[in-house]
Amino acid sequence: MTNHIPEVLLNDGVKAPAIGFGTAWIRGAKGVESLKTAMDLGYRLIDSAFNYENEGVVGEAVRQSGVPREELFITSKLPGRHHKYDEAVKTIEESLYRAGLDYYDLYLIHWPNPKVNLYVEAWQALIDARAKGLIRSIGVSNFLPEHLDRLIKETGVVPAMNQVELHPFYQQAEQRAYHEQHGIVTESWSPLGRGEDLLKNEQLQTLASARGKSVSQIVLRWHVQLGAVPIPRSQSEAHQRENIDIFGFELSEEEMKMISDIPTTGPLWEQDPAVYEEF
């Protein structure tokens, strides 16, 4: 089974799938099988990172999947500890060697690491790696407007994407408005928040029941209609299938507003910092 996934146009002319598959904590042989299942279901954007220690799993799944490489959109990320220019260049190369790939479709700076304050150097390394053909599109993750302003001012190159935490409990309206103003696509990590909290929300349950959809489908559809690219993660085939099946319906303005009116609880890392490593 495969699903037709619409595409979004990035500011560099590259097209990316409108939904992706997150791979944090997906490793080993079981991870390869999970990724192959996801690809069979139609996922084409696969999000990984140097720090996830699973670029090899992603590469192996690509080789075993039978899906032509050019149909896939593979992402990885540069860790905060390797922002010095020379280190960044070597890390990008190492990312490719780990995966056994000739290029990444998207490579992101995982976070700005402002205390070290070398993210402009790291960005220049990504710019140069793109010029060499090692990366098709370049972007960032967890960057605030002030960090993005500096990248654009000092290099003249606007990131194609910024991957940030985004879900109904943390809606990032100002950040999304900045992205839209500058032609940056928003990519949503943890698009379903903490799954259990989200599944129990009464407003979302009401919307899902009225639509005959799951809460997850309603929320992922909300992301898409915001113009964001969600990257849900699941090793369950049933959930993978459910999460990608969101392009056959559309939420009304009223339904979108019901979700937008859900009170924010703040970012997940503030609620439970131990869950999130320093990227």
The set of catalytic residues is 52
d(CA 243, CA 80): 30
183's CB contacts (< 8 A; 6+ apart) are 11, 158
d(CA 258, CA 253): 9
Q: What residues pair up with 21 in beta bridges, in sequence order?
A: 46
Whether the CA torsion 138, 142, 148, 154 is positive or negative: it is negative
> Hey, what are 271's tokens?
């609620």
d(CA 227, CA 170): 16
> Which helix H or strand E contains 22, and what residues bound it?
strand 20-22
Is residue 5 within 8 A of residue 42, CB to CB? The reply is yes
Q: What is the DSSP letter of 135?
A: E
Q: What is the DSSP letter of 161?
A: E
